[in-house]
Amino acid sequence: MIIVTGGAGFIGSNIAQELSKKYRVVICDKLNDPIKKKNIAPVKGKKIIKINEIFSFVEKNKKKISAVIHMGAISATDETNLELLLNNNYLYSLKLFNICNKYNIKFIYASSAATYGNSFDYYDDENSFDNFLKLKPINYYGLSKHLFDLHILSLIKSGEKLGSNPVGLKFFNVYGPNELHKGFMMSPIPKFLKEIQMTKKLKLFKSHHKKFADGKQSRDFIYIKDCVKVVIWLLKKRKLTGIYNVGTGKSRTFYDLAKTVFKNVNIKPNINYVPTPNRIRNGYQYYTKAKMNNLRKAGYKKDFLTIEQGVKDYIKNYLVK
């Protein structure tokens, strides 16, 4: 039995669907959104529990649970309620980690590339205090994830025996099916597609940084199917611990991404630039690029899809199906 928190959300539902092919999956999530209910429809033989039920559920079923994959979190990068973020992304995660550690249940959790802030060329996940203390998240969401990473790293480096063998995953810019419930926080691809289909043109954010031209803001875009493969691989590495980047190791511009979407609907690119909204401007990352040495050293050998490959699959097989 494997528990997936946030199992009706974007990354969690994709993991749960793949796991259900071989394992009994327990989904822990809020199901007050009909789109999220649709996300878990393909999950075979699932059991659903509420967020506040997970701790008693683990206590009662500790001998049956082989892993907890903790994807549940408040993931809005524009959230300004620090107390809310700390309660959900730090304290709840800590309580869940502690109970997994107590009963030797493998613990895999979602961190984020938001922990890096606007470092531009510094996305190194070397698991050392000197390295992690250099990080400067530029929003409260990134800070909440960073604080939990520091706690996990401190325990790993202490040499203390950790029955949960914790693994943290710094996901970069993930896109793919089951993200539509995220609204403004979904990846650009569905938003780009809808606008292009309706208007035959597209608006991109202007750059408000002197180092980047309009449209040249860039991200390490990774397709959800690649993220799921990493998680499945990690489940087989029971003794592996540490915090790892999950990206492609390549940074692609929003202009490149826009052109790819235009191409997949056979419309000639027509792009205009508009100011970045004030509510996200201060916490906006202009560049992300995962350094993937750590995961590769751990033994992960699979290649990652390019945005051309991933976006084509996403649009053709999910968005315009």
What are residue 3's phi and psi, to 5 degrees?
-95, 135
Cβ–Cβ < 8 Å for 90, 144: yes
Judge whether 287 counts as a catalytic residue.
no
CA nearest to 236, candidates 302, 303, 293: 302
Q: Which of 141, 175, 223, 244 is catalytic?
A: 141
Print the SS3 string covering the chain: CEEEECCCCHHHHHHHHHHCCCCCEEEECCCCCHHHHHHCCCCCCCEEECHHHHHHHHHHHCCCCCEEEECCCCCCCCCCCHHHHHHHHHHHHHHHHHHHHHCCCEEEEEEEHHHHCCCCCCCCCCCCHHHHCCCCCCCHHHHHHHHHHHHHHHHHHHCCCCCCCCEEEEECEEECCCCHHHHHHCCHHHHHHHHHHHHCCEEEECCCCCCCCCCCCEECEEEHHHHHHHHHHHHHCCCCCEEEEECCCCCEEHHHHHHHHHHHCCCCCCEEEECCCHHHHCCCCCECCCCCHHHHHCCCCCCCCCHHHHHHHHHHHHHCC
Q: Which of 37, 182, 191, 229 is catalytic?
A: 182
d(C-alpha 115, C-alpha 283), whole Å: 11
Judge whether 141 counts as a catalytic residue.
yes
Residue 194 — left, alpha, or beta (φ > 0 → left; ψ -120 to 50 → alpha)? alpha
Q: Which residues are catalytic?
A: 141, 182
